[in-house]
Amino acid sequence: MGAFAITARDADSRARAGVLSTLHGDVDTPAFVPLATKGFVRGVAPSEVAGLGYQMVLGNTFHLFLAPGHELIQRAGGLHGFSGWPGPIITDSGGFQIFSMGHGTVADEIKGRAPSGPERAGAVLAVEESGVRFRSYLDGAERELTPELSMAVQSALGSDIALVLDECTPFHISREQTARSSERTHRWLERCLAWHADHGRPSQLVYGIVQGGVHEDLRRQSAALVADSGSAGIAIGGSLGREKEQMHEIVGWATAELGDGHESKPRHLLGIGEIDDLIAGVELGIDTFDCAMPTRLGRHGVALVADPDARWRVNLHGARWGESREPVMGGCPCPTCAAGHTRAWLRHLLHQREPLAGRLLTLHNLAFVARVMGNLRAAIARGRLSQTAAALRAGAAP
């Protein structure tokens, strides 16, 4: 189908720039994909997300399946018609959210996706060959998600890219347990692809998911198996270890395995989006990323700034900003900074629990990440990725 065209490669790393083509438009890669988990990016209108330069958003099968339900969304014209987002949409399969209810892990924390709030009230009841049974966090009812149902839901949602249902394991289980779980995920991959071949929309791209935990041989086997399957693209998921160095190593095993003959399949890294991880992921050959980080931090009063020593963050709750006339970030062209809003005023909004604060900081954070990705894309095209990556890591403003 030729859904993905590589337009430039970096000489010193596995990085590549490209264009991912979908029914609802193109995505220039490498790209960050903001979360529209429940069919909306929290606090920000679809037109504003597009205005920041984003071309694709990610919706979540699990949450949309529970509320308002995929049949309702299908009757409303699919997720595109329902939400008013005209561009490409990728949907997560629901596996990660279900399994997060069962085991919050350190890996979740690294990924910025630690389960919190109502999800904690749900529970995995059983993982069986047929699928996974769980208790709904909404009403306590027992529900089951099978590979086929996940694909049917994603077909009803009308997403441009669907992810197969996978079993996510915590990092602390044994190698044998991880191996058995990966094998089940591979059988579920075949069932998802079979359902899609028989019932799915030909225009919907299906990505398989590489599992294998923190074990090199299992990761490599899983990557090779997913690459050899009929999937249109490859997502890397599951436990990516305890710390960043391990995560980069694990992603590197997978993309190394995808080198020969599988270059043309687009690669998505699930749930990773801190600034240094985006840079490292691009160097490892990842094409798209999604993560709650920029939007979640914004809602909690934390802004992204060019300060690697502070993990690119500044907390605007702090008393030191009480009389600050500074914008969130000098020279930032985002709507919040361009309007001249000061740190002192934003801090005041936060202390008044005014939702506008979260909205303005979400706009800034998404704009910041969009510029980081734009810088990396441009650098790959100009053959200057190593210089641009080094500058960003040293605190250059994107």
Number of chain residues interacting with Zn ion (CB under 5 A) = 6
Task: Give the separation between CA 383 and CA 9, rounded to whole angstroms.
Answer: 8
Task: Kindly tell me which of 280 and 337 has the beta carbon lying closer to Zn ion.
Answer: 337
Length of the chain: 398
Q: How far is the CB of 258 from Zn ion (least distance, A)?
A: 36
Q: How far is the CB of 341 from Zn ion (least distance, A)?
A: 9
Q: Of 67-75, 257-265, 335-343, 352-360, which part binds Zn ion (CB under 5 A)?
A: 335-343
Chain positions 141 to 170 lying near Zn ion, rule: CB under 5 A, are none
According to the binding rule CB under 5 A, does residue 334 interact with Zn ion? yes
Select which of 92, 108, 160, 166 is catalytic: 92
Residues sharing a CB contact under 8 Å with residue 116, sequence separation 6 or more, in sequence order = none
Q: How far is the CB of 293 from Zn ion (least distance, A)?
A: 16
According to the binding rule CB under 5 A, does residue 332 interact with Zn ion? yes
Task: Kindly tell me which of 124 and 344 has the beta carbon lying closer to Zn ion.
Answer: 344
Q: Of 212-220, 223-231, 241-249, 329-337, which part binds Zn ion (CB under 5 A)?
A: 329-337
Q: Of 116-124, 158-166, 186-194, 356-364, which part binds Zn ion (CB under 5 A)?
A: 356-364
Residues sharing a CB contact under 8 Å with residue 252, sequence separation 6 or more, in sequence order = 284
Q: How far is the CB of 51 from Zn ion (least distance, A)?
A: 13
Task: Kindly tell me which of 111 and 364 has the beta carbon lying closer to Zn ion.
Answer: 364
Contact letters (x/-) for Zn ion, 290-309, by CB under 5 A?
Answer: --------------------
Where do the H-state alpha helices sit in 230-354? 244-257, 275-283, 293-299, 335-338, 343-351
Residue written as tokens 């270059």?
A: 263
According to the binding rule CB under 5 A, does residue 364 interact with Zn ion? yes
Task: Give the separation between CA 42 and CA 83, rounded to whole angstroms.
Answer: 12
Task: Give the separation between CA 136 and CA 171, rounded to whole angstroms.
Answer: 25
Amino acid occupying residue 211: Q
Six-digit token string for 256: 């190394």
Select which of 12, 26, 290, 307 is catalytic: 290
How is residue 117 annotated by DSSP?
G
Q: 290 catalytic, yes or no?
A: yes
Task: Give the separation between CA 324 and CA 97, rounded to whole angstroms.
Answer: 40
Task: Kindly tell me which of 334 and 346 has the beta carbon lying closer to Zn ion.
Answer: 334
Asked whether the beta carbons of 308 and 393 are under 8 A apart, the reply is yes
Residue 19 three-state SS: strand
Greatest pairwise CA separation for the chain in angstroms: 62
Six-digit token string for 263: 């270059």
Q: Of 16-24, 125-133, 155-163, 325-333, which part binds Zn ion (CB under 5 A)?
A: 325-333
Task: Kindly tell me which of 98 and 334 has the beta carbon lying closer to Zn ion.
Answer: 334
Q: How far is the CB of 303 from Zn ion (least distance, A)?
A: 8
Determine which residue in the list 210, 240, 337, 376 makes contact with Zn ion, applying CB under 5 A. Answer: 337
Asked whether the beta carbons of 12 and 270 are under 8 A apart, the reply is no
Q: How far is the CB of 193 from Zn ion (least distance, A)?
A: 42
Can you name the residues that pair with 104 across neighbouring β-strands? none
According to the binding rule CB under 5 A, does residue 191 interact with Zn ion? no
Residue written as tokens 């691009």?
A: 282
Residues sharing a CB contact under 8 Å with residue 48, sequence separation 6 or more, in sequence order = 335, 363
Q: 92 catalytic, yes or no?
A: yes
Six-digit token string for 149: 């149902």
Q: What are phi and psi of 22, to 5 degrees?
A: -130, 175
Task: Kindly tell me which of 240 and 369 has the beta carbon lying closer to Zn ion.
Answer: 369
According to the binding rule CB under 5 A, does residue 267 interact with Zn ion? no
Q: Of 97-105, 229-237, 309-317, 333-341, which part binds Zn ion (CB under 5 A)?
A: 333-341
Q: Which residues are catalytic?
A: 92, 290
Kindly list the residues in this chain that would bind Zn ion in the complex (CB under 5 A): 328, 332, 334, 336-337, 364
